[in-house]
Structure 1
Amino acid sequence: MPAKKDIPNILIDAALKLAAEKSWHDVTMIDIARSAGLSLADCHAHCNGKGDILRRFIRKIDHEVLADLDADDFNEPGHDRLIAVIMARFDALADYRPALRSIIAARGDLGPADSIRAIKSHFGSMRWMLDASGFRTSGLHGSLRVTGLTAIYARTFRQWLDDDSTDFGPTMAYLDRELSRAADWDGQVEKGLGKAAKLCRKLSENCRRFSSKKSSGTTDTTAPDLRQ
């Protein structure tokens, strides 16, 4: 019996091995248990099904990418760091490409609940990739960045799956173009949110002044000037 801490990785390896051999849709938990040399009870104790195994795989890849970061990389421009981080992710996934093609073809074989969890996992991964590249991911702007990178990654991932080059050069070039376009959009969003925040502050200040005048008993009932 493997050590309990090793069982999740054993299940991941068994599931992806089977996915590389046949359609992910046809892979059952019995198949995974047999391939892993475990009982169904052991599987049940460490995962909630195929969807859970895929989410654990995503977290495993996240950890591998983050653990391999070099502190010197943090001195590079954010755009370059983000490209390096995403390409490192593809390098970590390279050995699993046959399995990933099978999983993508079956759309993960996920039900509604697992699909929502999978989306949440991917958003979480992209947040970590942005954090690792030095981008702020908090607040509305950060959430928009995470959403944008998730969409870019999904498109680049499909490009990477069909990239037969030895160095994934076409994938890197595609990613560079997509991120460059996104950078222009990100800058416009930052300016727009900055203007909106400034307007909200002025509106709040004017409303406080107007409220203060009313409470002090002044007869000036002029509405707050929102044009300032």
Structure 2
Amino acid sequence: MPAKKDIPNALITAAMKLAADKSWHDVTLIDIAQAAGVTVADCYDHCRGKGDILRKFIHRIDRDVLADLDAEDFNEPGHDRLIAIVMARFDALAAYRPALRSILCARGDLGPADSLRAIKTHFGSMRWMLDAAGFRTGGLHGSLRIAAMTGIYARCFKLWLDDTSTDFGPTMALLDRELSKAATWDARVEKGLGKAHRLCGKISKKYHRFAAKKHGSSQQETTAQTPAQTSGSSATAP
């Protein structure tokens, strides 16, 4: 019995090959389905459009990078781990550079809705890269880290696309510099958020003490008024 066709991956592979051969803007879903050897109905079942195929491609790259992580990598400093992970990502993307140039030239050929989904996908990828390097990505600080990492990756990606060196040395050097600068800002943000958190904690404690004191005073007033009200009620009873 022949193996079941992996349609999503077949569509991704076909789409990237077509993008490398001609303008991404001119690639249609029918082209992709035919190149993948599947019906248009099968294509419809597995993707919403070209933008969806690109998001699946990014997820595939994410998984390839994460699958290659070694347990020993987690013993390295976070800065070094992050450089290794991002460079591993560029290595995984290397075979697709012609296609990526075509896609970027057409700006992904995305409409507004797909553009928003693409941004969300890239933020998700950077979250995983940071998490894999041991950085916390939760809360406001984590969100700022993800946004900064997305910007750094975009600058390095632009250089990497035309980096003709065998080891992508210029790209790695830029990444190292950008991450070093970001680390300084990250420390300042962490310090600032820590101060803000402590200040909010103090304000909250003062508020709760004030509320408790006011509540206690109200109870004492109510207790003091109750006997007088009871006495007045007895005197007027028939």
> Take 1:13 and 1:185, find their aligned partners in 2: how far apart are those partners?
39
Mapped pair 1:172 → 2:172 = yes
> Take 1:138 and 1:78, find their aligned partners in 2: how far apart are those partners?
16
Deviation at 1:39, TM superposition (A): 1.2
Q: Deviations over 1:128-172 (max 9, x none)?
A: 000000000011101110111011101110010010000000000
Deviation at 1:213, TM superposition (A): 1.4
Other structure's SS at 1:216 match = helix
Mapped pair 1:3 → 2:4 = yes
Structure 1 unaligned spans of 5+: 219-228
> Take 1:172 and 1:146, find their aligned partners in 2: how far apart are those partners?
19
TM-score by length of structure 2 reads 0.89
Deviation at 1:2, TM superposition (A): 6.8
Amino acid at match of 1:147: A
| Alignment partner, residue 186 of structure 1 | 186
| Alignment partner, residue 111 of structure 1 | 111
Deviation at 1:217, TM superposition (A): 1.3
Amino acid at match of 1:192: G
Amino acid at match of 1:43: C
> Take 1:145 and 1:102, find their aligned partners in 2: how far apart are those partners?
29
Whichever of the two has the greater Rg, that structure is 2
| Alignment partner, residue 51 of structure 2 | 51
> Take 1:216 and 1:71, find their aligned partners in 2: how far apart are those partners?
57
Other structure's SS at 2:217 match = coil
Displacement over 3 Å in runs of 4+: none
Q: Deviations over 1:85-108 (max 9, x none)?
A: 000000000000000000011110
> Take 1:193 and 1:77, find their aligned partners in 2: how far apart are those partners?
23
1:1-228 to 2 correspondence within 5 Å?
3-4=4-5, 6-217=6-217
Other structure's SS at 2:165 match = coil
Equivalent residues, number: 217
> Take 1:214 and 1:38, find their aligned partners in 2: how far apart are those partners?
73
- Superposed CA RMSD in Å reads 1.1
Structure 2 unaligned spans of 5+: 219-238
> Take 2:41 and 2:212, find their aligned partners in 1: how far apart are those partners?
67
